[in-house]
Structure 1
Amino acid sequence: MVTVTIKDVAALAGVSPATASRVLSGHPATSSGSRARVTAAVEQLDFRPNAQARSLRSTRTNVVGLLVSDVRNPFFADLAHAVEQAALEAGYVILLGNANELEDQQNRFLDTLIDQRVDGVIVAPQGDGSGSIRSLLNRGIPMVFVDRRVDGVDVPSVTTDSREGIQQAVAHLADQGHRRIGYIAGPQSISTGRERHSAFTDALRTAGLDHDPALTAFGNFQIASGAAATEQLLQLNYPPTAILAADSPMAAGSVAKLHEMGLRIGRDIALVAFDNIDWFALLNPPLSVISHSVEDMGRIAVELLVNVIGGGQPASVSLPSELIIRESSSHRLPAPLNPQRNN
C-alpha cells in the first residue's frame, strides 16, 4: 500500500508543499488557482491528511471517546446510539469502547483514548475513580460520567433518579397484595447498584413492608447473575411472590429462570424490571418496567461534554424514572383468609 503525502499533492498541483498545506488548512493567503489545483490533486490522489499530525498542530481532533459498561446490555447499546447521533450533530465522531463491567478493561480503553488525543470522553465508570480515570483528570482531558458516578470525583454527570420509579414499583406490588418482594440488586461497588438498593429498602418502609435481607440477592448487572439470583430467592423457605430486578440483563436472566422452573410470570409470580427495553413489551406476558429516557441521557451527556470542552463547568443532571405497569405484575393476589374465632 502506497501512502500519499502532502508532497505528492503539491507535485501534482504544481505548487510548493507549504502552499498545499496552507490550502488544506484553509489559510486565506492562497490564490484561487492554487486552491483549485490542490483540490483537484487531493481528489485525484484520494489524499487523506494525517489526523494525528494535524491534531498536534491544532490540539483538536473532533473525536470523543465513549466507554459503556457492557455493550451486550440493550440499555447501553441504545445509549451508544443516542450519544453517537448527538455527537455527529455537534461535529464529533465517536470511538466506542466496552468495559464488560471490568475495571481493567476500562483502563485499557481509556489509556488508548489518551494516546489518541481525543477531545473528550463520556464514561459509564467502573471502580473507585483511580487508574485511567485519574489519569484523564490529571491531564485535564474533558470528561463526563453517564448513568453512573464515582464518589469523590468531581465530574459533570447525567444519571437517573431511580428512587421515584422504584417507589412506584414497590407501592404497586404492595397494592396487588404482595408482602414478600424479592429484589435482584446490582453490585454495590457501582453507584447505580448502591442507589437502587437503598431506594428499594426505603420503598419497603414507605409501603409498610418488612425488610427481610434474605429477599435480596446480589448480581453483577449481567444475565447469568439474574438467573442465579432468581433461583436463590425461590429456594427460600418463604419465597417471594414478586421480584424486582435492578437492570434489564438481570431481568432477562430472571425471565429465563422462571420459564425453566415452569412458573407463569404474572400469575405464579410477578416481575418488574428496571429499564424499558423495547422487547420487554413483546414478551408473553409483557413485562412491567421502570422507565427512564436513554435518548435524553445520551443527548445531555454530549451537551455536557461539549460545554466542558469549551471551558464551561456545567452542573450535573438527574433524569426522572417512572413505572409502566403491564401484565407481568397486574394480577392481584387473593387476600389471605382471616382465622375464624370460636364463639
Structure 2
Amino acid sequence: MVTITIKDVAALAGVSVATTSRVLSGNPATSADARSRVQAAVAELDYRPNAQARALRSTRTHAIGLLVPDVRNPFFADLAHTVEQAALVHGFVTLLGNANERKDQQDRYLDNLIARRVDGIIVAPLGDGSGSIRSVVGREIPAVFIDRTIEGIDLPSVTTDSDTGIREAVDHLAALGHTRIGYIAGPQSTSTGRERYASFVRAAGDRGLSLDPALIVFGDFQPESGSAAVRTLLALNEPPTALLVADSPMAFGAIGAIQKLGLRIGTDVALVSFDDIDWLALLDPPVSVIAHSVADMGRIAVDMLRTVIDGGTPESVRLPSRLIIRGSSATPVDPSRSR
C-alpha cells in the first residue's frame, strides 16, 4: 500500500514538518503563503491525516470498512450482518457506512475509512469510479467489490449472475400465458440495474414476448419508484398481466400500489421480485422471488478481502440465482378476465 506521510507533504510544499503540522491542525501561527503551499501539496498528494494518530500503516487496526448503498434495503441489511459476523470470526471489527444511494455520501464515508486506516474495505459501489473510489485504488488499500462493480476499476468482486434467475422468471411467466410482462428496472447508473435490465430484455426477446417500451419503467431501487411504476404500467390502455421487479424495496412499493388499486396479486396481476427477503414469503399470497445467497456473498467477500490484505490476488466470484415460485405467480392467465 502506498502511504503518503506528513513528511511528503512538507517536502512538496517546501516547508518544515513542524510548519506543515501547524497548518494541518489549523494553528493560526502560520503565514498565508505557507498555508497555501501546504494545502496545494495536500491536494496534489491526496494526503489524509491519520484520524487515530497511528504513525505506521504497517500496524494492523484489525478493523475493516463495509460501505453499502442503503441500509434500509433488507438485502443490504442482511449482507451487513453476514459480513460483520464473518469478519468477527477472523478477528476483525466492521465499521459500517451507508451511502444512501448517493455518490457524495459514499465519498464521505470512504474518506473517513481511509483516514481511520482500516485494514481493508468491502464496498457495493455507486457511480462511475471517480472520487474516493479512485483514492482507494490509487493508495492500494485492500478492497473488494460486493454485489456491484464499476467498469474499468480492477478490484476483485463477488456478485450475482442475475441472468439465470431472470430467464427462469420470464420463462415461468410466459408458460402461464403472459405475453405482456411489465419490468420495473433499477437505475442504469449501477451495474446491477444495467445487468438485470439487459437480462430481462434478452429473455423476453428470446421468448417472443412484447418488448413494447411502455412496459419498462426505470426506478431507483426505492419503494416510491416501485409504486409509481405500477401506477404507470397499470394505467396503460393495454396493461401488463405480470410484473417483474428488479429489487425488493421497489417490490414493496409495487405491492402497496397494487393493493391500493383494489387488485389481487396472483389473480389480477402476477408478481415476481428479485431478492428472497424473508417477509415476502409471509404475504398472502407469498411472493415469487429470484433468490441468491446473501450468506455466501458476505462470507466470500470477507475471505477475499483477507486474501488481499495478506498480499494475494483472489479471483472474482459470480454466484448463481434461481427462481422460487410461490402464489403470486402460480395462476395461468385467464383470457376472459378484464380489468
| TM more than 0.5 | yes
**Alignment TM class, shorter chain as reference:** 0.7 to 0.9
Residue 311 of structure 1: SS of its match in structure 2? coil
Q: Distance in 1 between matches of 2:64 and 2:57?
A: 18
- 1:174 counterpart residue number: 174
Structure 1 residues 80-229: aligned runs within 5 Å: 80-229=80-229
Contact kept? 2:67, 2:106, Cα under 8 Å: yes
Q: Distance in 1 between matches of 2:218 and 2:258?
A: 17
Residue 240 of structure 1: SS of its match in structure 2? coil
Distance 1:236 1:86, change over 3 A: same
Q: Distance in 2 between matches of 1:58 and 1:323?
A: 46
Q: Distance in 2 between matches of 1:145 and 1:219?
A: 23
Q: Distance in 2 between matches of 1:57 and 1:223?
A: 42
Q: Distance in 1 between matches of 2:206 and 2:90?
A: 44
Q: Give 1:60 deviation, angstroms.
A: 1.1
Q: Distance in 2 between matches of 1:116 and 1:258?
A: 46
Q: Give 1:58 deviation, angstroms.
A: 4.6
Distance 1:184 1:308, change over 3 A: same
Q: Give 1:203 deviation, angstroms.
A: 0.6
TM-score by length of 1: 0.82
Q: Give 1:211 deviation, angstroms.
A: 1.1
Q: Distance in 1 between matches of 2:163 and 2:266?
A: 24
- 2:268 counterpart residue number: 268
Q: Give 1:52 deviation, angstroms.
A: 3.4
**Structure 1: runs of 5 or more not aligned:** 1-50, 338-343
1:296-327 deviation digits (Å, cap 9, x = unpaired)? 00000001100100101111000000000000
1:257-276 deviation digits (Å, cap 9, x = unpaired)? 00111110000000000000
Code of the residue aligned with 1:201 in structure 2: it is V
Code of the residue aligned with 2:138 in structure 1: it is N
Residue 56 of structure 1: SS of its match in structure 2? coil
Contact kept? 2:186, 2:246, Cα under 8 Å: yes
Q: Distance in 1 between matches of 2:103 and 2:112?
A: 14
- 1:28 counterpart residue number: none
Contact kept? 1:55, 1:61, Cα under 8 Å: no
Structure 1 residues 1-343: aligned runs within 5 Å: 52-53=52-53, 56=56, 58-335=58-335
Residue 329 of structure 2: SS of its match in structure 1? coil
Q: Give 1:109 deviation, angstroms.
A: 0.3
Distance 1:78 1:117, change over 3 A: same
Q: Give 1:335 deviation, angstroms.
A: 4.7
1:18-58 deviation digits (Å, cap 9, x = unpaired)? xxxxxxxxxxxxxxxxxxxxxxxxxxxxxxxxx93567375
1:217-269 deviation digits (Å, cap 9, x = unpaired)? 00000111100111111111111000000000000000000011111000000
Residue 300 of structure 2: SS of its match in structure 1? helix
Code of the residue aligned with 1:125 in structure 2: it is P
- 1:34 counterpart residue number: none
Q: Distance in 1 between matches of 2:89 and 2:314?
A: 20
Q: Distance in 1 between matches of 2:171 and 2:213?
A: 19
Residue 194 of structure 1: SS of its match in structure 2? helix
Contact kept? 1:185, 1:217, Cα under 8 Å: yes
Displaced runs of 4 or more, over 2 A: 51-59, 334-337
**Structure 2: runs of 5 or more not aligned:** 1-50
Q: Give 1:213 deviation, angstroms.
A: 1.0
Distance 1:105 1:57, change over 3 A: closer
- RMSD, aligned α-carbons: 1.6
Q: Distance in 2 between matches of 1:58 and 1:333?
A: 63
Q: Give 1:144 deviation, angstroms.
A: 0.3
Contact kept? 2:57, 2:117, Cα under 8 Å: no
1:128-158 deviation digits (Å, cap 9, x = unpaired)? 0110000011111011000000000000000
Q: Distance in 1 between matches of 2:140 and 2:104?
A: 21
Distance 1:259 1:55, change over 3 A: farther
Contact kept? 1:270, 1:329, Cα under 8 Å: yes
Q: Distance in 2 between matches of 1:58 and 1:305?
A: 17
Q: Distance in 1 between matches of 2:137 and 2:59?
A: 17
1:156-194 deviation digits (Å, cap 9, x = unpaired)? 000000000000000000011101000000000100000
Q: Distance in 1 between matches of 2:73 and 2:179?
A: 31
Q: Give 1:59 deviation, angstroms.
A: 2.4
Code of the residue aligned with 1:171 in structure 2: it is D
